Amino acid sequence: MAGKPKLHYFNGRGRMESIRWLLAAAGVEFEEKFIETPEDWDKLKNDGCLMFQQVPLVEMDGMKLVQTRAILNYIATKYNLYGKDIKERALIDMYTEGMADLNEMIIVLPLCPPDQKEAKIALIKERTTDRYLPAFEKVLKSHGQDYLVGNTLSRADIHLVELLYYVEELDPSLLANFPLLKALKTRISNLPTVKKFLQPGSPRKPPIDEKSLEQAKKIFRIK
Ligand SMILES: N[C@@H](CCC(=O)N[C@@H](CS)C(=O)NCC(=O)O)C(=O)O
């Protein structure tokens, strides 16, 4: 029997968090090997398993997978969270790419120079309420179903709910005008696997704090 997937990243959200969410939602237990020092990082790079000298790295099913999207695609396919045909998959990809665009703005926010932070946060809030959340609310309204695509749970629902938690952290009022998204968030959060992941003590990571940010900058030698 294949062992648990092994995730290599620093002990924070970053690009690995969506992978943690998807595995957890699929009910897959995983191990984590945290990169804690510049020496750990150099060692991982020198081991030769990072195709582009970047993490996330996920060891799974005998493969050493890099590139976040490729990893998510593999997990979603393996655990039947990627639609029943190519048309559903196209919709899931389209929705997921939109979510990834907003998520990327949120992921890089901690690295933003202090004098630009306020403007970046304002832009994220504007894009959230004027572009992304209305688009997903409209999808749910258009078919009246419980999930975004194909009336069944897919990665699109998982990624969206992950994103809704981040948006709420930024400003809880951002969700106020999106009743169907709020209902989706509640529904997905109550799935047993997701509920477990949302409990304290799970592998879910908190928002990055000053100390972890400094550690991550040191590891990746970011000025
Ligand atoms: N397209 C890649 C980007 C990965 C990436 O930028 N990883 C960062 C950490 S979040 C990294 O390894 N930085 C070190 C470097 O690029 O030298 C992916 O999505 O996996």
**Distance (Å) from CA 1 to ligand 1 centroid:** 31
Tokens 């804690």, residue located: 36
Classify residue 152 by burial, with Cβ atoms within 10 Å: 0-12, 13-18, 19+: middle
- The domain spans of the chain are 6-79+197-219, 86-189
Identify the weakest region by mean pLDDT among 54-68, 102-116, 117-131, 209-223.
209-223
**Distance (Å) from CA 52 to ligand 1 centroid:** 8
Ligand 1 atom with minimal separation from the 220 CA? 14
Query: Do 89 and 150 form a contact (C-beta atoms < 8 A)?
Result: no
Decide if pLDDT at 185 tops 60: yes
Decide if pLDDT at 9 tops 70: yes
**Distance (Å) from CA 178 to ligand 1 centroid:** 33
Share of the chain above pLDDT 90, in %: 93
Share of the chain above pLDDT 70, in %: 100
At 1 the pLDDT is 54
- How does residue 222 score in pLDDT terms, banded at 50, 70 and 90? confident
Please give the order of strands across the beta sheet that includes 57-60. Answer: 31-34, 6-9, 57-60, 63-66
Global pTM reads 0.97
- Give the model confidence (pLDDT) of 61-119 as tens digits: 999 999 999 999 999 999 999 999 999 999 999 999 999 999 999 999 999 999 999 99
Residues with CB under 6 A from ligand 1: 14-15, 53-56, 67-68, 220
CATH number of 6-79+197-219: 3.40.30.10
Considering only the top CATH level, what class is 86-189?
A: mainly alpha
